[in-house]
């Protein structure tokens, strides 16, 4: 008889191992407004910049999740709009065999951490293409923000949305 080996239990369970993969990353929406051009270019002052973040996740099918990192940037010089840019950058993730208690942390921490560098580059390019100095956002600690949001929800102050605090001048 041929040498037959019994199946390895570890190999049989490999199909049950947690798996996360990125199927696509894409710009879902991008808007750049320069409402006071060309007068805004005569200003010598550094603009005041307000940055707002939001993370959304949407089921997109069996084991599929779309995570959208929305970044809104408004720049003003002397109370006049210099520019405004809005970006919704998304990723489509396939998540298999992820325990329920680890699903939300992945979607609200790990996925945005993966998406952020790409969204940051797109924003920098859009602002630079509007003839302003490239906007280089600081890295975001999505894990600590998630933990803060969870603490607020446990205290009954959260609404379930992940809105990150605004930043000041960039």
If one compares 116 and 144, the residue with the highest pLDDT of the two is 116
Q: Which residues contact 59 (CB under 8 A, 6 or more apart)?
A: 65, 66
Mean per-residue pLDDT for 39-57? Answer: 89
Give the single-character DSSP code of 65.
Answer: E
Q: Does residue 105 sit in helix, strand or coil?
A: helix
User: Whole-model pTM above 0.85?
Assistant: no
Closest C-alpha to 57, from 42, 67, 43: 67
Closest C-alpha to 95, from 85, 110, 78, 75: 110
**What's the fold here for domain 19-160?**
Bacterial Protein-export protein SecB (3.10.420)
- Mean pLDDT over each residue of the chain, to the nearest integer: 85
Low-confidence winner among 92-101, 116-125, 138-147, 161-170 (lowest mean pLDDT): 161-170
Both tokens assigned to 121: 């580059």
Taking the C-alpha atoms of residue 58 and residue 9, their distance in angstroms, rounded to an integer, is 35
Grade residue 11 by pLDDT with cuts at 50, 70 and 90.
very low
Taking the C-alpha atoms of residue 159 and residue 130, their distance in angstroms, rounded to an integer, is 36
Grade residue 18 by pLDDT with cuts at 50, 70 and 90.
confident
């Amino acid at each position: 008889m041929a040498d037959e080996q019994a199946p390895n239990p570890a190999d049989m369970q490999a199909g049950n191992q947690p798996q996360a993969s990125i199927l696509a990353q894409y710009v879902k929406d991008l808007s750049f407004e320069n409402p006071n051009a060309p007068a805004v270019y005569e200003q010598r002052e550094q603009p005041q910049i307000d940055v707002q973040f939001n993370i959304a996740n949407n089921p997109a099918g069996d084991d599929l999740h779309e995570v959208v990192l929305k970044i809104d940037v408004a720049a003003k010089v002397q109370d006049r709009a210099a520019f405004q840019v809005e970006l919704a950058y998304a990723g489509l993730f396939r998540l298999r065999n992820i325990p329920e208690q680890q699903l939300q942390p992945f979607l609200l921490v790990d996925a945005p951490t993966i998406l952020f560098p790409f969204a940051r580059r797109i924003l920098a390019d859009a602002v630079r293409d509007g003839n302003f100095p490239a906007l280089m956002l600081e890295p975001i600690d999505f894990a600590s923000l998630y933990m803060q949001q969870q603490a607020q929800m446990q205290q009954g102050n959260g609404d379930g949305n992940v809105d990150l605090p605004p930043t000041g001048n960039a």
